[in-house]
Copies of this chain bind each other. A is one copy, B any other.
Amino acid sequence: MTAAEQRHTEKMRRVQASRRAMMATKTQEKGLLIVHTGAGKGKTTAAFGMAIRTIGHGMRVGIVQFVKGAMTTGERAVFDAFPDLVTFRAMGEGFTWDTQDRARDVAVARAAWDEVARMVADPSYAMVIADELNIVLRYDYLQVADVLAVAAVRPAMTHLVVTGRNAPAALIEAADLVTEMTQVKHPFRGGVKAQPGVEF
């Protein structure tokens, strides 16, 4: 081993010791309120990635889609392969500019939230995903207070995941884990259309 390699080894040994000491202080397990927001891609995709992780551990996931009901997605086909572990409810009837009917959108949002609340109350679900919930909060189709009330009384080990741009401040304040997906570069700007595997 050269002197440089020896220095690398010693440095990495110190990093490892420091990381082990840091990780040893992380002992708590609890259900998290998780928010994926921001204008970039990956909010729903990362939530569905966590769903896949959860399924892989043999634990149950409930998914309610608030606005993308009309879109057939590739992940749906995979979730359908695990019917005992995944409950998938596409409650939204499409984007709000497609329905053009506020009263119906409010009713649909309320019904979708009732489904989330039902799943959250059932401790057999390790994770519940309210996909694009932030959109309906943004349009005032649902109140953030209603969301926080359900989150507050959920079972101790249940992860509740909320996605969508423009997460309300009160939701971010209440959350344990918040990630903002920031758009650095997007191919739509270059005329590239939505493609299977990437967008759906």
Interface residues in chain A, defined as those with a beta carbon under 8 Å from any beta carbon in chain B: 1, 4-5, 8-9, 12-13, 15-16, 19, 23, 25-30, 32, 34-38, 40-42, 44-50, 52-57, 59, 61, 73-78, 81-82, 95-103, 126-127, 159, 172, 175-188, 190-198, 200
- Contacting residue for A56 out of B12, B78, B126, CB 8 A: B78
- Contacting residue for A42 out of B12, B181, B196, CB 8 A: B181
Whether B57 lies near A196 (C-beta < 8 A) is yes
Residues of B within 8 A of A56 (CB): 73-78
- A71 to chain B: closest CB distance in Å? 11
- A165 to chain B: closest CB distance in Å? 13
Whether B180 lies near A184 (C-beta < 8 A) is yes
Could you tell me the distance between the alpha carbons of A68 and B41 in the complex, rounded to whole angstroms? 24
Could you tell me the distance between the alpha carbons of A77 and B55 in the complex, rounded to whole angstroms? 8
8 additional A-B residue pairs with CB within 8 Å, beyond A5-B101, A54-B197: A12-B99, A16-B95, A36-B42, A40-B180, A52-B75, A54-B196, A180-B182, A182-B182
- Contacting residue for A27 out of B46, B54, B191, CB 8 A: B191
Whether A9 lies near B101 (C-beta < 8 A) is yes
